[in-house]
Amino acid sequence: MRRPAILSLIAASTAAVALVFAMPSRAAEEAVVIPAPAMDAAPASGIQTAVLAGGCFWGVQGVFQHTAGVVNAVSGYAGGTKATADYQTVSTGRTGHAEAVEIKYDPKKISYGKILQIYFSVAHDPTQLNRQGPDTGTQYRSAVFTTSDEQKKVAEAYIAQLNGAKVFSKPIVTKVGALEAFYPAEAYHQDYLTLHPNQPYIAYNDLPKVENLKKLFADNYIEKPTLVSASKATN
């Protein structure tokens, strides 16, 4: 998702775009059918928060905006300081930040464990170290930023469960650590998948993730995305 490359793609000729759409319809990271977590968070009241990093935040946000029970999903940065929480600085890979998504969800409609199952299955490939698909650098790492001890226990237990079952061909490299702060990304990054469905990067890397969500998690899929812009309009 390096911006110079994306800007070049946007400026490409119609013929070049047509070539992209002639590519096989698949995501850069293929979906994997995985079991549900054996341990999940206890039932709770009120809106809860999960913060997940899995490569380019456009696709991760898009997946969870199509997930039932999610009331808001915001692209942003986690792992570094407020002073470096901007796209150009984060893109250097030297800030400690990861591109992340803050997911606000209703635990009466979807559990933390189910969110993790979707995250590990269709939102990204948890076996890729400091990269996802075409994007490389620590800012694209796989990471779960926990907001409670319970979330930490659930996430660590689930990773151990998946590794033990060898559902992936390689070990999971996802790091689990406490969330210190989340910083929303610039406005032009929000709702990007919905606003730019014909952008080649989105069409090739991210729309297939939403299709995999619909296919593998039909009970958790919603057709109309829950957008950041809509959330702001109603607040």
User: 96-109: string of b/e by CB count within 10 Å (b at 16+)?
Assistant: ebbbbbbbbbebee
- CA torsion, ordered 49, 53, 59, 60, to nearest 10 deg: -30
Does the annotation count 56 as an active-site position? yes
92 Cβ neighbours under 8 A, 6+ residues apart: none
- Output phi, psi for 57, to 5 deg: -70, -15
Identity at 181, one-letter amino acid code? A
What is the distance between the alpha carbons of residues 229 and 98, in angstroms, rounded to a whole number?
Answer: 23
Query: For 147, which DSSP code?
Result: S
* DSSP, res 86: S
**Catalytic option among 50, 56, 98, 118:** 56
Q: What residues are annotated to the active site?
A: 56
